[in-house]
Every structure is written in C-alpha cells, then in structure tokens.
Amino acid sequence: MRRLGHFERIIVLWLVLSAISMTLVAIFLTPILPPSTDATQASGQRFDNEVLTLVSVFVCALIFVYFGYVLIVFRARDPRASTEGPPIRGHMGAQLTWIVATTVTVLFLAAFGSYELLGGAGGGQGSKPVFTSFSAADRGAHKGDPPLQVQVIGQQWQFTYRYVSNGGFESAQFVLPVDRLVELHVTSLDVIHSFWIPVLGVKADANPGFDNIAYVTPTKVRTVHIQCAELCGLFHGYMFDTGRIVSDSDFAAFVRRQSRFVSPVTKDLPKYGGKYLPEPAFRAG
Amino acid sequence: MSAVQKKLLGIVVVVAAAGVLIGFYIADILMASPRALRPTTPGPNGSLNLTIQTVAAAGPTLTTNPSWVSYFVQDASKRWRHSTIWDLPAHTLVHVTIYQFDGDSGLRNPFMAKVRGTVGNVMRVDGKSMNVLNPDDASHTFAVPQIGLIVPLMGVADDAKNQCDFGPCSLSTAHKTITFTFRTPRKGRYRWQCFVPCAAGFLAGFGGPMQTLGYMDGFLNVT
C-alpha cells in the first residue's frame, strides 16, 4: 500500500478534525449563538451566525492541522545538528490552490452575506424600504393584515412609542403582539440615537427628521431589553428600556388601558406623518 | 555605585514618582463626581419632604456657570444647595415641592406633558390639581424615566412682575409652586433629568446645563 505524502496526510487530518469540531460546534455552540430564535429576523441572523461559525471552524481546522503537522513532523530531531535545511522554492500548484481556495471562500462569504441582507434582516431600511416581500413566517399569524405600525421616537434620553395603527397614542411602554409583522418607524427629536433590541435582531438608527423603517415579527411571548446603540450624550448609558411581547388579547388590553390613560395629551401630539416634528421643530431655550 | 549609576537611579526615581503623581491626578479627574446629598426632611407617617427649585440662571453665589439654567435643592437645615445627586431611602413616599422661577419654553415632545408615576398620576400647580399641562406652558420637567415618573413644570408668565434674576431665588419673586408625591423604588441608582430643551444658547437647547451633572440632570441614590 502506498504511503500518503505530507500534503495528503494534512488533507486527511484536516477533514477528520473538521468533521469532529464542526459536529461539536453544531451540537453545543450554535444553539446558544446570538441573537435568538424569538423573532423571524433574529432566527435569520442566528442562521447567518451558524453558517459563518461553521465556515470559520473549517478554515481554523486547516490552520491548526497545518501548524501542528509541520511543528511535529519537520521539527529538528537532533538538537546538535546545525545544518540548514534545503532551500525553499516556489510551487505553482500550492500557490494556485491557496489563491483559488481563499478567493472562493471570501467570495462565498460575501455572496452569502449579501443574499441574507436582502430581506432587510431586522435593520433599518430607510424611509422607502425595498425589501417588503415578506415570507409566510414573517407575516406570522396575521397573514391578511397589513403590518402593525409603531413609531419609535428617540430623544435625549428616552425612547417613546407611538402606536400608529391603534389610534396614534404615544406611550413610554414598548409592547408588541406576538406572531405579527411589525413595521417600526424609527426617528429622533434631537440627536442621532439607535434603537436596538438585541434579542429580536432589530437595530435601526434614529435620525432627527428622518423615518427609518425596520421590520420585526416576534415569535415568543417574553420581555425584551431595549437600548440606545449610538453615543448620544450624558445619559446615553442610561437610555435603556424593557419591552414586552404579549399575546393578541394582552396587546388589545394594553392598547385600551394605555390609550385611555394618555388620552389627555394625545390631542396635543403632532399629526402623524412618518417623521415626528412638533412645531416649532427645534425649540431651544 | 558610581556617580553615573547614582544619577541614572535618581532620574528613574524622579520619573517614576512624577508618573505616579500624574496618574493620581488623572484618576482624580476621571472619577470626580459631585457629592451626594441627603436633602429630605421627615414628613408624616414615615414619609419624606423634598424641596427643590428651578431657576433661569444659576447665579454666581453657588455655581461656576452663573448663566446656566439649573435646579437647586434645600438641605435639612433649609439652606439652598447646588446639588442634583440625592440619597433617598427605598420604598418611601416622598412629598416633593418644586418652586419654579423660570419662564416657559415648551416641550419638544408634547407627550411629556402628561403627569405619570406620581401618586394618583397628578400634580398640584399653585394648589390646583392637574394631570396634564399644555405642552407650550412647560418650562422644565422633573423626570425619572427608569421608574416612569415625569412631572412637567409650568413656567412663569413672560410678563410676570418681580421675576428672579438668578438663583437661588427667593419666594418673594414670581414663581409657580408644583407639588406631587412619589414612592421611591427599590435600591439602585436612578438618573433624573429635564426633558425641555431649556439650555439657552446651546445647540438645540440640549448642551451645557443639560449635559452636566449638577444643573438639569442628576441621580437618585436609592439605598
């Protein structure tokens, strides 16, 4: 039987180590990768993280095997020997393999990442979203209904929320129904903020005078941590909030209760128009 | 030890000592924070009284930025102090009295005109019970967003007589008296702030005193 050469041994060891390590990663690591599976957008992001992690493990396995192999096999066995090794010359096959393999890997990751972003992926899409052909999972349990519109208003240093599809009342509480596509209109009254719900995979910049639209479909009843992700002044570090994803009936109860509570001030809110610019737009002093 | 070695050792010691001193100096600057105050006086049934005032100009007496809008707080001996970091006990009713000496400038977000988080979700302005203010009449707010507390503070009319020039202001000058009661939350550090862009002369009204502890922002250290 022919003995395997160095190159072949490295390939075999790489494939074996990859099979073992990728299996272990798939079993133990990918289920806890961020962000979560509690929104369809978050699930998509986790899938992306899983793919990227497994590709990374595959590449890392080659590096570890290569270095381990050459350190062991090509070590100086006689410490007293001081003769130099043979001169290293170019090897067209090795160079071509390296260039082609790395190019294919990088192009694959770029194409995969771009494709995954095409759906919006929970990020702000600007005032005229392009990616609005939602899957059945994105539409949740309300497939025939238009997306629930909620405006997110950033101001130093608190987010408030305007429930556009529910009479337009404003609240300091972030409450969304589960299994329903939500269209978030993110804006700011002063400086640039960033509305971030890590566990739902939602992140959209809040720019003054600009309507930045992001979509999310929560799939689990739970509380969510909200925070500002853009350094916005003295109390940026305190610009966080706790939101709730609730059942349809609990959401309806929230709307009834909250719209009644804030009704004395709802008449004073500016007319809803995507942006939130009370007159005068920039009161100061 | 030769003379050169002694000289080198001396230089090393001096440089090291200077480095330590510079390090202490920088650390002191980075960690500096206004001192906390326990400004309350006992009220009925274990409650506390807290008395504060808001002024259009902090004045030269107690502050280093006399033209900045500011809060002041009354200590246990009834003296006005320039502090916005207050120690309060947890789960305690606090009766707050705010003497408001500044004119109105209006809320940027009208939603902040709704009184929330106080006992009964109401405040009293010059003795009159209110649960919402005309957003244009607001001069400042006292808000602790982490506990859902916000109280809009009505401004003094532009044509009011005997207006206060700078703080701390005397009650003999034109002012509004706002009172409300809230319950302190569990132990923790809670920021409080004004939501009216009231920093005249600063970008969008939100620089200077709005971005500096001791003026329009502070902390409740609930213990």
Q: What is the mean pLDDT of chain A?
A: 89
Indicate whether A274 belongs to any domain.
Answer: no
Averaged pLDDT, B187-215:
90
Residues A111 and A198 placed together within one structural domain of the fold: no
Residues A105 and A140 placed together within one structural domain of the fold: no
pLDDT, tens only, A41-95: 898 889 999 999 999 999 999 999 999 999 999 887 877 777 777 788 888 988 9
**Does the beta carbon of B189 lie under 8 angstroms from any beta carbon of chain A?**
no
Residues A149 and A253 placed together within one structural domain of the fold: yes
Query: Please, are residues B191 and A238 in contact by the beta-carbon 8 Å criterion?
Result: yes
pLDDT, tens only, A261-272: 999 999 888 888
Contact B105 A283 (CB under 8 A): yes
Indicate whether A234 belongs to any domain.
Answer: yes
Residues A68 and A166 placed together within one structural domain of the fold: no
Q: What is the CATH number of domain B41-222?
A: 2.60.40.420
Residue A284's pLDDT band, with cuts at 50, 70 and 90, is very low
Report the residue from B108, B113, B143 with minimal CB separation from A283.
B108
Of A117, A151, A181, the one marking the end of a domain is A117
Residues A215 and A155 placed together within one structural domain of the fold: yes
| Burial class of residue A230 (count of CB atoms within 10 Å of its CB; 0-12, 13-18, 19+) | middle
Residues A180 and A257 placed together within one structural domain of the fold: yes
Averaged pLDDT, A160-164:
95
Tokens of A195: 């509305």
Torsion, Cα B36 B42 B43 B49, to 10 degrees, reads -20
Structural domain harbouring A246: 136-266
Helix ranges (H only) for chain B are 3-31
Residues A149 and A187 placed together within one structural domain of the fold: yes
Indicate whether A80 belongs to any domain.
Answer: no
pLDDT, tens only, B93-104: 999 999 999 998
Residues A145 and A200 placed together within one structural domain of the fold: yes
Task: Report the chain B residue with the minimal C-alpha distance to residue A161.
Answer: B111
- pLDDT for A282: 47
Indicate whether A130 belongs to any domain.
Answer: no
Residues A108 and A143 placed together within one structural domain of the fold: no
Residues A146 and A258 placed together within one structural domain of the fold: yes
Contact A285 B199 (CB under 8 A): yes
Contact B197 A285 (CB under 8 A): yes
Number of domains in chain A: 2
Residues A101 and A162 placed together within one structural domain of the fold: no
**Does the beta carbon of A33 lie under 8 angstroms from any beta carbon of chain B?**
no
Task: Report the chain A residue with the minimal C-alpha distance to residue B216.
Answer: A234
pTM over 0.90: no
**Does the beta carbon of B114 lie under 8 angstroms from any beta carbon of chain A?**
yes
